[in-house]
Amino acid sequence: MVADNLIYYRKLNNLTQLELSEKLNYSDKSISKWERKEGLPDLYTLYLIADLYGITIDQLLEERKEPPKVQKPKLRTLILLISIGLCWLIATIAFVSLALIEPYNYKIWLPFIYAIPVSMIVVIVFSKIWHKRLLTFLATSLLNWTVPLSVLLSINYHHLWLLFIISIPMQILIILWFYLRKHLKKTPLD
């Protein structure tokens, strides 16, 4: 029962065993042992876990009658979409303002191009907060390619396409960085 609750609340809070172990200053092997019902954390550690999750120690020790309904994924998606929508609302306002001020300017559509990397920054921030590594990787990659695109479309200089050459090693570094982080979580260096 305690082991099941430890697993349930850890997953409810989107933590891996390694992340929880770092927060508690325990090894991930200890967390795994508790969750496999091969041992129990001491009372003080139960207090720390309960405090971390915002619950009581009793909730860790009692059998859960009915799991609480969790709307986090839907709520998170809604928050992310609203935040991205605000970026595009600002881009639309800028577009309309430019269209009213300079109706014949052929670059009045640029706010929509700028909204793409700004949206990716918003996605990166939320995905880092929510520990969504794949989403962070995808948004970082899109940011890597849309920043030079924004610069290229903003400035009339024929050699700016060379900025995309910089994006190639940047993309390789992004891939390697996320690969390294994935493996460091599994096997710490020390």
In this predicted model, what pLDDT tens digit does every residue of 84-116 receive, in sequence order?
999 999 999 999 999 999 988 888 889 999 999
> Could you give the count of Cα atoms lying within 13 Å of 22 in the half-sphere of its Cβ?
7
Q: Could you give the CA distance from residue 69 to residue 92 in angstroms, rounded to a whole number?
A: 37
Radius of gyration of the chain (CA): 23
CB 60 within 8 A of CB 49: yes
Q: Percentage of the chain with pLDDT > 90?
A: 33
Mean pLDDT of 20-39: 88
Name residue 1's amino acid: M
Highest mean pLDDT among 23-37, 64-78, 151-165 belongs to: 23-37
Residue of 156, 152, 179, 178 lying closest to 166 (CA atoms) = 152
Amino acid found at 31? I
Report, in this order, helix, strand and coil percent for the chain, each rounded to 5. 75, 0, 25
Q: Rounded to an integer, what distance in angstroms lies between the CA atom of residue 15 and that of residue 6? A: 11
